[in-house]
Amino acid sequence: MKPPLPFLILETGQPVPAMKRYGRFPHWIRVAAGLAEAETVVVNVEAGQALPSPEGFAGTIVSGSAAFVTDRAEWSERTADWLRAAAHDGLPVFGICYGHQLLAHALGGQVDYNPAGRESGTIELELHPPAFEDPLFAGLPGRFPAHATHLQTVLRAPEGATVLARSPQDECHAFRWGAHAWGVQFHPEFATHHIRGYVRARADCLQRHGRCARTVAREVSAAPLARRLLRRFVQHARTLPTHGHGGRPENAR
């Protein structure tokens, strides 16, 4: 019996210095997704590592980053081109924060600074009706907590995408494009110590946006339902045939 296909993790950035003692983003993602190290291949695209052929992978997960999609860095645009082709070919994709924004950009959506300012801490997600029939979000309550930390956001989802969730500060916290490509603005891989560390690290920025970091950190709570989405993505991707996923919307060209 052949072993299951590995998942490709695209590393687009590094944790803030105070959080590096917990490892890099691919480690956080792998643990939250329930994947063994041997079940993943990590490519550090920010460092210029070459992107492999998507063939031979069960799916790909794109990490968060302190970079900005609007800077149009060479490595970022190259990764966007790869994601566009992979999504059109039906490879299961799960983008987190920067990965969410990069996937939206790759597929023709609009990414820029959030007019509402920095969103940080444990936030409340509100699901839109299509989420209740979505392969990853089905069965979850209409509202539940998640961890978020970002300045930029998806201002306009790609054509043909379905927006699945919002927060009081962000209208596009999750979307699905086609059958097997998802972007989530929140961080399902973050535990409470991760988000508290990020709130402390971004204290000055929060203050400039009218928020008190101590208050935001005090209001951090566990977000187990958001965390569950990574395992659901892995389970969903493993139910699909290796080739011909057919994830492209009819109106996507």
Residues spanned by the domain of 184: 7-114+152-189+225-238
Report the pLDDT value the prediction gives residue 241, as an integer from 0 to 100: 84
| Structural domain total, the chain | 1
Does the annotation count 97 as an active-site position? yes
Mean pLDDT, the chain, whole residue set: 94
CA dihedral 25, 30, 36, 40 (to 10 degrees): -70
Report the pLDDT value the prediction gives residue 245, as an integer from 0 to 100: 43
Q: Which residues lie closer than 8 Å to 138 by C-beta, 6 or more apart? A: 131, 132
CATH number at residue 88: 3.40.50.880
Sheet architecture: strand order including 170-177 = 40-44, 7-11, 59-62, 93-96, 181-184, 170-177, 161-167, 119-127, 143-150
CA distance readout (Å), 45 to 99, 104, 124, 181 = 12, 18, 31, 19
Within-domain flag for 146? no
Does the annotation count 171 as an active-site position? no
pLDDT value at 145 more than 90: yes
Q: Which of 11, 46, 119, 189 is catalytic?
A: 189
Within-domain flag for 143? no
pLDDT value at 76 more than 50: yes
In angstroms, the first-to-last Cα distance of the chain is 38
Report the pLDDT value the prediction gives residue 248, as an integer from 0 to 100: 39
Report the pLDDT value the prediction gives residue 22, as an integer from 0 to 100: 95
Q: Which of 34, 25, 88 lies closest to 62, judged by CA?
A: 25
pLDDT value at 253 more than 50: no
Q: Which of 100, 105, 147, 187 is catalytic?
A: 187
Report the pLDDT value the prediction gives residue 58, as an integer from 0 to 100: 98
Within-domain flag for 77? yes
Does the annotation count 205 as an active-site position? no
Within-domain flag for 211? no
pLDDT value at 2 more than 90: no
Within-domain flag for 162? yes
- Average pLDDT in the 133-158 region? 98
Helix (H) or strand (E) holding 170: strand 170-177
Within-domain flag for 166? yes
Express each pLDDT in 31-54 by its tens digit: 999 999 999 999 999 999 999 999
Within-domain flag for 212? no
Q: 2 exposed, middle or buried (CB, 10 Å; 0-12, 13-18, 19+)? A: exposed
Predicted TM-score (pTM) of this structure: 0.93
Q: Could you count the other beta carbons within 10 Å of the beta carbon of residue 128? A: 18
Express each pLDDT in 199-251 by its tens digit: 999 999 989 988 898 999 899 999 999 999 999 999 999 999 874 444 433 33
Q: In whole angstroms, what is the distance from residue 83 CA to residue 119 CA?
A: 26
Q: Which of 11, 46, 88, 97 is catalytic?
A: 97
- pLDDT-above-90 percentage for the chain: 90
Express each pLDDT in 91-136 by its tens digit: 999 999 999 999 999 999 999 999 999 999 999 999 999 999 999 9
CA distance readout (Å), 172 to 24, 37, 165, 178, 223 = 26, 31, 6, 16, 19
Within-domain flag for 135? no
SS3 29: helix
Q: Which of 230, 138, 133 lies closest to 184, judged by CA?
A: 230
